[in-house]
Amino acid sequence: MSYVTDYVIGYRKTMHLTKTDFKEYLLCSHSFWFQKKRPEEYVPGEFSLFLKKLIEDGYEVERYVRTMFPDGVLLEGDRATLISKTKELVQEEQTLFQATFQTEEGLFAQIDVLRFNNETKKWDIYEVKASSEIKTDIKHNHIKDIGFQALVVQKSLGAVGESSIIYINKEYRRQGAIDTEKLFIIENVSERVAKQNKDLLGEVEQALALLAIDDLPLESCECFYKSAGQHCDSFAVFNRAVPDYSVHHVVTGKKLHQLLLTGVVHIEDIPGDFPLTDIQRAKVDLQKNGEPLIEQLAIRDTLSRLTFPLYFLDYETYGTPIPILDGYKTNQQIVFQVSLHVLRESGDLEHYEYLAPALDGATLGLVTFLREHVDAPGSIIVWYESFEKARNRELGELHPPYREFLLTLNERIFDLMKFFKKEYLHPEFQGSASIKNVLPVLLPELTYKTLDIQNGTMALSEWEKIIKGQVRGAEAETVKHNLLQYCCRDTYAMVEIYRFLKKLTHRDS
């Protein structure tokens, strides 16, 4: 999609294009325009929150990277101050952190590390990433990120030298103080940047041109032809005729294009002779029939093989790019909370919970809690078993005396979610087996909407406030209460879903 490039000079002075803006543009130009030109109407969605998390992670990583450039100067202040300081200090050829540039046409960039190369007499730039690899997918294109930065520096200072990306070594495991030389990898990507420079230049021109347009019809966006997982945050604004659960959730690629070109957006309208896989056809038939598909005998048989007492277990975790505990790798999840509901064969229900009060000793306290409250025998019920099993293996590595116990727990795990992938399907699940989709349909009274913490991302953010001392006293106690309520809701929801299935399968027996 292209736009005229004769944008007005006066407009450039008030509307800027940052690297984050450019990322939004690359995902969807229409959503980018809507966010920039109608911010009061724009509602941040998954991708915007994702970018925010990346930025926050990046700040932490940058602090460590700066120690690798001991001669560097950190620039601070408002935009005007940063630009002014940058102009002053580049004359002295100093290494700068957060060197800030703004070009005449409206490009704006802050460079993580800008270093003058005495041999080439050019400025080398370093882009810091909180990931453990250089990515080029739809949501992370690190080469275009640094290409954008290099373009701004080139327009501001002239020729740019080398372009490098600094990212985290995924094999690094913390033992004691952080060793930055081992933690980070510096990769020269100058050739890769040069190869995509022409395309990037055109995309930047188109993004700037789009900013000069004050009225854009809210009719459709390029995401219309993408699968649901690739939709922009403003998809519903530009595609009002598309239902929340549409053909975008069933098919992808050429099949999706074929349906959309013939005007089919509702799943129920997919022709009976349209080529689909068995799984896709099952989703379509479910929506067409409008009735749940329940294999009662299969569900009853599986439930009968569970061993009492039943332990309904759920973890909450916290991860950071920089390992903050010994033995951890980058972004490895620290299990800081567990909720445990124990259902006896008599029907009695007990609840136990653990919330780490601080970072130090967090996981040792948790595995001690598990050892105390999870006996044998008894099936351990979770939702999405690969997550809990992975955490148990990691906890076993970190705490060898508990390793055998934790691995034994994995042998006893049953994934309640499996029922909702095959034996119990409902049109209102909208093709998902997530507990957040299943629970409102089966047991609408057990909503998460009444809780102050409503998802795992909120939970880890709240616990972070505790371990960083951002909340104290009564406020900290409130946060802890909210965390315990949320995790308890997860396991209690599993108990009630189990009871629902049990009652359902014995209704006609």
CATH number of residue 359's parent domain: 3.30.420.10
- Please state the pTM of the whole predicted model: 0.86
Q: Are residues 333 and 200 in the same domain?
A: no
User: Could you give the CA distance from residue 112 to residue 68 in angstroms, rounded to a whole number?
Assistant: 12
* 126 part of a folded domain: yes
For residue 476, what are the domain limits?
A: 298-505
Instruction: Read off the pLDDT band of 139 (50, 70, 90).
Output: confident
Q: Are residues 463 and 343 in the same domain?
A: yes
Q: Are residues 29 and 159 in the same domain?
A: yes
* 218 part of a folded domain: no
424, two tokens? 């119990």
In this predicted structure, the answer to whether residue 6 has a pLDDT above a threshold of 60 is no
* 275 part of a folded domain: no
* 292 part of a folded domain: no
Looking at residue 2, its pLDDT comes to: 32
Q: Are residues 205 and 323 in the same domain?
A: no
Q: How many domains does the chain have?
A: 2
Q: Which of 194, 211, 228 is the last residue of a domain?
A: 211
Helix (H/G/I), strand (E/B), else coil: 227: coil
Looking at residue 47, its pLDDT comes to: 53
Long-range contacts, stretch 502-508, CB < 8 angstroms, 24+ apart: 502/303, 504/294, 504/296, 504/299, 505/296, 505/297, 505/299, 505/300, 505/303, 506/300, 508/296
Q: Which of 211, 233, 262 is the last residue of a domain?
A: 211
* 161 part of a folded domain: yes
Polymer length in residues for the chain: 509
* 251 part of a folded domain: no
Looking at residue 24, its pLDDT comes to: 92
Burial of 227 (0-12, 13-18, 19+ CB in 10 A): middle
* 376 part of a folded domain: yes
496, two tokens? 């009630």
**What share of the chain has pLDDT > 90, as a percent?**
87
Q: Are residues 324 and 205 in the same domain?
A: no
232-288 pLDDT, tens digit per residue, is 999 999 999 999 999 999 999 999 999 999 999 999 999 999 999 998 999 999 999
Looking at residue 44, its pLDDT comes to: 78
Instruction: Read off the pLDDT band of 419 (50, 70, 90).
Output: very high
Span 401-413, average pLDDT? 98
Q: Are residues 167 and 306 in the same domain?
A: no
282-337 pLDDT, tens digit per residue, is 999 999 999 999 999 999 999 999 999 999 999 999 988 999 999 999 999 999 99
User: Could you give the CA distance from residue 231 to residue 248 in angstroms, rounded to a whole number?
Assistant: 9
In this predicted structure, the answer to whether residue 4 has a pLDDT above a threshold of 60 is no
Q: Are residues 203 and 312 in the same domain?
A: no
Burial of 172 (0-12, 13-18, 19+ CB in 10 A): buried
CATH number at residue 158: 3.90.320
Residue 132 · residue 330 · CB < 8 Å: yes
Q: Which of 162, 179, 211 is the last residue of a domain?
A: 211
* 381 part of a folded domain: yes
